[in-house]
Structure 1
């Protein structure tokens, strides 16, 4: 049985720890390998590799860095099918969805290929008499990326292309549930000509994370995961003097107004609620139906949901399994509780007949109507294929309901009224907003991130905020002296 090792200094690194975790195919329930879990000594060895590589990479010209980035982009584009197959085998998502994930991540790689323009500073000649002022942005040093299980390629690619392009070195700590994609990416970087030690992979659990959060060599942390862990990462990392962006959980609402195209809205709810088995931080998990459209809209969604197929992602179903048996059971327990609390299970995925292994982690798409805001199925982030319907009478009630949520990651409104849409995106307290778009993930040249308990820190991912996160500003004021500048002057010499 294969063992997934670390990647340090441009090569595989077994480490000294004997602890491992199983790697499982969610569609079969079969353990396909094991992944090394680092001890403190192993984590420090990987961090040391990143620290040793930093000075030379920092001083590498933008032209040479960009050449490596373009080569990586071409290799990834040619071989992204390989990466998608790895993702499907360890996460379980449908192969076409895995390909889509890689493509969205590649957008950030392409954005980073323009780093020479993005890092251009500013200069003012003769700001004061014979004094020039110039601004620069320079890399931080070794940085760490701690990524979740649901996007083994895309989420790391939100961060490492910009970190590398701006002159930093990287330690990626992927989820131990989906470790192989990170190693594949590391080998692709090596093939692209990235110097050894610039991109490293550290596998592990809390021991590895805590070393990244406390080791003084690591200057910044990018994290994506659940809100409690995001809060812990942000609090611990900043207490150790690190720059931290910690993207947390979500409970995303979609409001459907009475004037909306209900067929479009129904299609969107199915796509956004059940894509990737609902294991997306931008999935719509709550539909807020306004006015008297609820019965019609629920019927349309139910009709579409019942046509969905669930199965092994390699066989081209609509939806794959959940990541683990424990997570599958947890999501099912929320459906059980919601039903006991008085909600109506319109489409029940608990008894789905999946096209996959009998021991796969199956839970079909589930539609739950008449959900109230005091039910746990509404209040908690479930992270599974359970779409809840909350009925309200007015737009103002819907707006208040969304704004009252402790999360503020993504939201959407479906309407044909431009005035209502404009009012919504102005008044809503959420970081990413869709107008007739259910999953409003921005393009790479914009930045990704939510509000409230969906983000800890000041910087969002990728885009210009990503460039700023992985760099720090420096301003240089220059005057070349000549005899006319002699003499004593206790004032500000540049104010002339």
Structure 2
């Protein structure tokens, strides 16, 4: 049985806690590896190593730090196929989707290769008599990232690339469900020339999370996961004096106006709702047709499109999506489907009971479609995180606009229309952090930033882009004067002004 360990001080280290966890192959339902779960002692070892290494790394000029990221980019591209296969074997998403996971993370690495430009401060000459003022961005010290199972490559790179580029050391605590790719990314960073101790991986469960949040030498924590845990991480981390960004759950809506290109919208909706088995925080699990005629036409086309979907093992080149990550998650999604039925929604397509020949023990769920879902239903209010699409009918534009705006989550939303005025009105008024117009999954490009509103995000900074650079740095302002030999006299007792 394969053993997965921490990666501390440039090498693999076994956990002292004695606790372990199983890593499954979602395609077969079988255990494929044993993960050694760490505790505070393992974290202390990683922090001590980071603390010793970080000052030297911060002293290296930004160009040289960027060269390490350039080399890492090359190594990741060279190892793309092997990494994608490893990711799919533990997560269950199909190989092409795993490559997308890697590439979206790599785009943030590419952005961070321009770190010399992004660390430039501001300068004001002659702000006062003989006085100049300038600013500089400096690293925080040691940062940590706590990442979810659904993007085991992309989200770690969203965090560690800007943290390391700005001169910090970084400790990654990935999901226990698919930990191998995060370890491999760390190995490639070391191969690229990163000094030992600047990027380390510790594995664990809540015990490790709490140790990270409480550790006095960790200055900042980035988290992505469910909203309840995000709120917990934010409160506990801030109480410990840390800078925290904590991204939570989502219930993204797709609004379909009567003038929308329905064929294009349906193609997008099916991919956004069922791709990666719906295990994306930017999935699109709710579709809101405006008007009964639009709803009936949309439903007919969705049922037809769902009927053509192919669910298969992650290595099946023809499969649109694979299994969910664990048996427990499969049971949770199926329970949410039953909850929707119990609450009175119409189950048009039932994905429960799906079985793949030869992989009967795998964690597969077929695509499900609900119609006549209403906002008072718990199955609408909560995140299902599975291959389930819900139709919520709206009478008009205002009702459609209100649904995502009033929902507890505010991560992403999409509007399908040919009307520029409607699109402009929608983007200005909707109370959601990321908006797509005829784009089903509006994840911003790497040189912008990612972040939702309401219970989808806790903290003041978004992920990656310039927001990420700001999160992982602190600004120092310098006001300087070079005396010309004159005495200050009594003016030294007066608060300085620039007059």
Quote how far apart the aligned CAs of 1:392 are: 1.6
CA distance in 2, matches of 1:96, 1:222: 27
Kindly report which structure 2 residues correspond to 1:239-254, keeping only aligned pairs within 5 A, or say none. 239-254=239-254
**Is the Cα–Cα contact under 8 Å of residues 310 and 353 in structure 1 kept in the other structure?**
no
**Is the Cα–Cα contact under 8 Å of residues 306 and 347 in structure 1 kept in the other structure?**
no
- The DSSP-based 3-state class of the residue aligned with 2:106 is helix
**Is the Cα–Cα contact under 8 Å of residues 149 and 177 in structure 2 kept in the other structure?**
yes
CA distance in 2, matches of 1:402, 1:481: 60
- The DSSP-based 3-state class of the residue aligned with 1:443 is coil
Per-residue Cα deviation, 1:23-80 (whole angstroms, up to 9, x for no partner):
1000101101111111221121112221221111111111211111111111112212
**Runs of 5+ consecutive residues of structure 1 not aligned to the other structure:** none
**Is the Cα–Cα contact under 8 Å of residues 63 and 115 in structure 2 kept in the other structure?**
no
**Is the Cα–Cα contact under 8 Å of residues 310 and 355 in structure 1 kept in the other structure?**
no
Quote how far apart the aligned CAs of 1:351 are: 2.8
The residue that corresponds to 2:312 in the other structure is 311
CA distance in 2, matches of 1:9, 1:166: 20
Quote how far apart the aligned CAs of 1:481 are: 2.1
Quote how far apart the aligned CAs of 1:408 are: 0.1
Match of 2:486 among 479, 484, 487: 484
CA distance in 2, matches of 1:210, 1:52: 23
Per-residue Cα deviation, 1:444-493 (whole angstroms, up to 9, x for no partner):
10010000000000100001110000001001111222313554423355
**Is the Cα–Cα contact under 8 Å of residues 152 and 178 in structure 1 kept in the other structure?**
yes
Quote how far apart the aligned CAs of 1:353 are: 3.8
Match of 2:468 among 466, 469, 472: 466
CA distance in 2, matches of 1:126, 1:494: 13
The residue that corresponds to 1:8 in the other structure is 8
CA distance in 1, matches of 2:488, 2:143: 45
The residue that corresponds to 1:431 in the other structure is 433
The residue that corresponds to 1:419 in the other structure is 421
Work out the number of aligned pairs and report it.
Answer: 496
Aligned alpha-carbon RMSD (Å): 1.2
**Is the Cα–Cα contact under 8 Å of residues 312 and 356 in structure 1 kept in the other structure?**
no
**Is the Cα–Cα contact under 8 Å of residues 39 and 211 in structure 2 kept in the other structure?**
no
**Is the Cα–Cα contact under 8 Å of residues 381 and 408 in structure 2 kept in the other structure?**
no
The residue that corresponds to 1:151 in the other structure is 151
- The DSSP-based 3-state class of the residue aligned with 2:48 is helix
The residue that corresponds to 1:385 in the other structure is 387
- The DSSP-based 3-state class of the residue aligned with 2:421 is helix
CA distance in 1, matches of 2:498, 2:345: 71
The residue that corresponds to 1:299 in the other structure is 300
Kindly report which structure 2 residues correspond to 1:320-335, keeping only aligned pairs within 5 A, or say none. 320-335=322-337
**Runs of 5+ consecutive residues of structure 2 not aligned to the other structure:** none
The residue that corresponds to 2:366 in the other structure is 364
Question: Structure 2 length normalisation: TM-score?
Answer: 0.97
CA distance in 1, matches of 2:62, 2:380: 49
CA distance in 1, matches of 2:281, 2:68: 31
Quote how far apart the aligned CAs of 1:123 are: 1.1
Per-residue Cα deviation, 1:311-345 (whole angstroms, up to 9, x for no partner):
11111211100111111111111112222332222
CA distance in 1, matches of 2:54, 2:402: 49
**Is the Cα–Cα contact under 8 Å of residues 125 and 132 in structure 1 kept in the other structure?**
yes
CA distance in 2, matches of 1:109, 1:49: 24
**Is the Cα–Cα contact under 8 Å of residues 321 and 361 in structure 1 kept in the other structure?**
yes
The residue that corresponds to 1:118 in the other structure is 118
CA distance in 1, matches of 2:38, 2:289: 48
Greater shift, 251-260 or 47-56, is seen at: 47-56
Greater shift, 330-339 or 206-215, is seen at: 330-339
- The DSSP-based 3-state class of the residue aligned with 1:392 is coil
CA distance in 1, matches of 2:53, 2:205: 25
CA distance in 2, matches of 1:80, 1:51: 32
**Is the Cα–Cα contact under 8 Å of residues 249 and 409 in structure 2 kept in the other structure?**
yes
The residue that corresponds to 1:495 in the other structure is 498
CA distance in 1, matches of 2:435, 2:39: 41
Stretches (4+) displaced over 6 A: none
